[in-house]
Amino acid sequence: MKKATHLFLFVFLACWTASSSWADHPKLMVLRGNITELSELNIPWVLSEHGHHVFDSKYLPAINQFREQGHDHFIIKPFSAFKPITKNQTKGNANPNIQGLLNQLDIGRWYNDVVTLSSWSRRTATTGNVSAANWLANQFSQMGYTVSQPSFTVQGQSTKNIMAEKVGTVRPDDWYLVGAHMDSISNTSQAPGAVDNASGCAAVVEMARVVKDMDFEASLLFICYSGEEQGLHGSAFHVSTLSNNQTLSQLKAALTMDMIGYSSNNDRELLIESSQAHTQLMNLIASMAATYAPGLTTYTSTNYWGSDHVPYIDAGVPAVLLIDDDYGVYPGYHRSTDQPENIDQDQAMKIITTNLATLANLAGAVFSDDLIFMDDFE
């Protein structure tokens, strides 16, 4: 079935859910996650779109048995709990200074960082994970950021987040976070995790690199989490630290990137996900995409789950996940085949561009009077 038809059916069913009682379709369930892990079960999905996969409930026992074997990176809900996913393409007016800032992004440099990170098997608390963390800390330090490495435990083993700070010039107590998880997982001993999630982690580094010499009205926090694959431990630890320090209210937004570098076809698509309470932030990101990343189709979803945006949302912080729309069918998911050659650089570039434009807008990027980024507009 063609993707356009899939989308039509998905929207149709979503609208049907909103207007019908659960008794009208009691057999339909929705699995959220990547379905390549379940391919051996030969489930005939009713439809599959945006990382959500609709199936008949008669296959639920087989899926639960599969889960009991240790495959637990998905969630299942009744179809009545599904909330419509909306195509969002509202274009704004481009700011030439922001466009000039975005022109400083270097996708080749970003890809080299993906290759570097993928050279380590980054399972939480392993030697490779420590090597990647040290490399990240060194990168941020060389850029001139204030770097910290808070440690915590995951399943009895010590690991750490890598955090880089830049204090704002006007609103130093207002913080805006850009984050992604650095750890990886695999069905074999090697976990290169190129798409999941060296792609997002390298994007955090690239964004930090581009803005390192700029002033912002508000303060910036770049963070690479560990322990995500075992249950969002790194982001949950950060939230608990802010809560304990009574500074959680200073965090005005958290922008999370996960699996931003894969496309199953020639389409360029971004899924923007948060809770219903933060639709304004999602709409802003969609507008940044339409304005500064032409050709990128965006969808907004309030079915939030499964990545490092969740602990922030649950704590009341405006938080959003940016993820490639085809992540649910990526064949290298949690496999040793998750290698850099699977990366779609143009897809990633558009998502990074969108996120940096959002950050510049929210945190108040300060541009000099001589408009040093105006070269492309003269």
Q: Is the pLDDT of residue 2 over 70?
A: no
pLDDT value at 375 more than 80: no
pLDDT at 254: 98
Which residues make Cβ contacts (< 8 Å) with residue 21, sequence separation at least 6?
A: none
Residue found by looking up tokens 């561009």 in the block: 353
Tell me the mean pLDDT in the region 13-24: 44
Q: What pLDDT score does 366 carry?
A: 97
Contact 342, 262 (CB under 8 A): yes
Do the beta carbons of residue 162 and residue 221 sit within 8 Å? Answer: no
CA distances from 107 to 37, 235, 260 (A): 30, 26, 13
Q: What is the DSSP letter of 339?
A: -
How far is the C-alpha of 140 from the C-alpha of 124, rounded, in Å?
A: 20
> What are residue 74's phi and psi, to 5 degrees?
-155, 165
For the segment 59-64, the average pLDDT, to the nearest whole number, is: 95
- Domain ranges for the chain: 3-84, 96-366
The CB density around residue 115, as the number of other CB atoms within 10 Å, is: 16
Are 230 and 124 in contact, with CB atoms under 8 Å apart?
Answer: yes
List of residues 6+ apart from 337 with CB closer than 8 A: 331
- The whole-number average pLDDT for the span 155-179 is 98
Type of residue numbered 104: Q
Query: Tens of pLDDT along 255-297?
Result: 999 999 999 998 999 999 999 999 999 999 999 999 999 999 9
**pLDDT for the residue 192:** 98
The average confidence (pLDDT) of the chain is 91
> What's the pTM?
0.92
d(CA 110, CA 108): 5
Residue-by-residue DSSP string for 28-52: EEEEEE-SGGGGGG----SEEETTE
Count of beta carbons in the 10 Å neighbourhood of residue 213: 8
Distance of alpha carbon 49 from alpha carbon 246, whole angstroms: 40
Q: Which two tokens stand for residue 299?
A: 């969808």
Longest Cα–Cα distance of the chain, Å, equals 66
Mean pLDDT value of segment 355-376: 77
Beta strands in 190-281 (DSSP E): 215-216, 218-225, 251-257, 269-273
> Does 317 score more than 90 pLDDT?
yes
Rounded Cα gap, residues 260 and 342, in angstroms: 12
The single-letter DSSP state of residue 217 is S
Distance CA(98)–CA(288), nearest Å, equals 10
Alpha carbon 151 to its chain's center: 22
* Strand ranges, E, within 98-239: 146-148, 151-154, 157-160, 162-166, 171-181, 215-216, 218-225
Assigned CATH class of 96-366:
alpha beta
What is the rounded CA–CA span in Å between residue 295 and residue 308?
27
Q: Is the pLDDT of residue 5 over 50?
A: no
Tokens linked to 9: 């059916």
